[in-house]
């Protein structure tokens, strides 16, 4: 549920209160029951600003749990009440949670809070998210910075390509940025770490993702292709497929021929997904690619 959602009117069975502290606390505590969660969020928003304090107590002072939904609902209600300061207070709050299951659940709450901050593209929110990204990447932060198209966050987006949890959010952010991210993607695609011979799995994941994005985005392919043409010599089939896709549009006839030969050599060891992509590349390359 996004922070900018237009909330539905209260329904007949909604819980109404006279706004007393006790009744508001009771309404907030019902979030723990996991029943009628969306309706409870609407009911809390209907109480107006007076519901912010009990929601803040529930979120900031309450104990994290192995069940994330009650605290996520509190975040959604605070977002609907435009309680930006409370959400910023929560997301910057350091948390040391030894239990791994509880920690994972609370990270889901943090992601919800970071996504909710999309409603406020202000310098203070951007500065906070950049600070948090430098300390600990998480998908909600990357998504919101990507929504804001923050160029200063490009290094964090590139780093996020290495992480299975953050990759989708990082890729989405880089797509939104488009051309300003192109040079960083080229560098990311070319940089094997710690070395080409002893490349780490995370480095390979980053390079594969960067090449896929470059092939997909087709921004200034002819300008960057001279730097990327050596990717046709890669042994990794994923990298090779992306390089061949770029060669089909930006490479010389000789480079397209090299791409075809490399793809044919990679075919036997590729999985079915890559074989489908290789087949598509060969169709693109075949008409004017010398194979001799």
pLDDT tens by residue, the chain, 292 residues: 343 333 333 333 344 445 568 889 889 999 998 888 889 999 999 999 999 999 999 999 999 999 999 999 999 999 999 999 999 999 999 889 999 999 999 999 999 999 999 999 999 999 999 999 999 999 999 999 999 999 999 999 999 999 999 999 999 999 999 999 999 999 999 999 999 889 999 999 999 999 999 999 877 778 899 999 999 999 899 999 999 999 998 999 999 999 999 999 999 988 899 999 999 999 988 765 444 4
Contact yes or no for 178/156 (Cβ under 8 A): no
Contact yes or no for 215/245 (Cβ under 8 A): yes
Domain finish residue from 86, 119, 152: 119
Q: Return mean pLDDT, the chain.
A: 89
Same domain membership, residue 140 and residue 214: yes
pLDDT in tens, 45-54: 999 999 999 9
Q: Which pLDDT score is estimated for 3? A: 39
Contact yes or no for 237/269 (Cβ under 8 A): yes
Tokens of 284: 């693109």
Same domain membership, residue 127 and residue 115: no
Same domain membership, residue 155 and residue 192: yes
Same domain membership, residue 13 and residue 109: yes
Same domain membership, residue 130 and residue 114: no
Contact yes or no for 237/274 (Cβ under 8 A): yes
Q: How many helices (H) and strands (E) does the chain have?
A: 16, 0
Same domain membership, residue 149 and residue 255: no
Same domain membership, residue 110 and residue 43: yes
pLDDT in tens, 2-39: 433 333 333 333 444 455 688 898 899 999 988 888 89
Q: Which pLDDT score is estimated for 289? A: 45
Please state the domain count of the chain: 3
Same domain membership, residue 98 and residue 14: yes
Same domain membership, residue 126 and residue 82: no
Q: Which pLDDT score is estimated for 221? A: 76
Same domain membership, residue 115 and residue 180: no
Omega before residue 194 within 30° of 0, cis = yes
| Total length of the chain | 292
Domain finish residue from 103, 119, 135: 119
Domain that holds residue 192: 121-219
Domain finish residue from 119, 136, 151: 119
CA distance 185 to 180: 10
Q: Which pLDDT score is estimated for 5? A: 34
Same domain membership, residue 163 and residue 57: no
Q: pTM of the entire structure?
A: 0.86
Same domain membership, residue 57 and residue 5: yes
């Amino acid at each position: 549920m996004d922070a900018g959602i237009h909330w539905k009117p209260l329904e007949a069975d909604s819980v109404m209160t006279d706004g007393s502290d006790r009744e508001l606390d009771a309404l907030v505590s019902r979030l723990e029951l996991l029943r009628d969660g969306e309706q409870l969020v609407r009911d809390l928003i209907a109480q107006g600003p007076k519901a912010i304090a009990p929601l803040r107590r529930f979120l900031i002072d309450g104990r994290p749990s192995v069940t994330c939904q009650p605290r996520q609902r509190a975040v959604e209600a605070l977002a609907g009440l435009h309680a930006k300061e409370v959400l910023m207070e929560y997301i910057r709050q350091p948390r040391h949670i030894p239990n791994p299951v509880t920690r994972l659940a609370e990270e889901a709450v943090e992601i919800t809070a970071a996504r909710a901050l999309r409603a406020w593209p202000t310098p203070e929110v951007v500065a906070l998210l950049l600070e948090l990204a430098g300390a600990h990447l998480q998908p909600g932060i990357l998504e919101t910075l990507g929504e804001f198209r923050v160029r200063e966050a490009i290094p964090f987006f590139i780093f996020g390509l290495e992480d299975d949890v953050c990759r989708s959010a990082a890729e989405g952010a880089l797509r939104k940025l488009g051309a300003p991210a192109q040079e960083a993607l080229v560098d990311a695609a070319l940089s094997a770490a710690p070395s080409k011979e002893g490349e780490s799995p995370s480095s390979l994941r980053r390079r594969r993702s960067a090449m896929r994005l470059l092939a997909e985005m087709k921004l200034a392919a002819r300008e960057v292709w001279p730097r990327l043409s050596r990717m046709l010599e890669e042994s990794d089939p994923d990298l090779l497929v992306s390089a061949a896709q770029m060669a089909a549009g930006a490479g010389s006839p000789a480079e397209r021929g090299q791409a075809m030969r490399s793809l044919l050599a990679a075919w036997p060891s590729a999985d079915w997904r890559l074989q489908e992509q290789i087949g598509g590349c060969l169709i693109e390359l075949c008409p004017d690619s010398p194979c001799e």
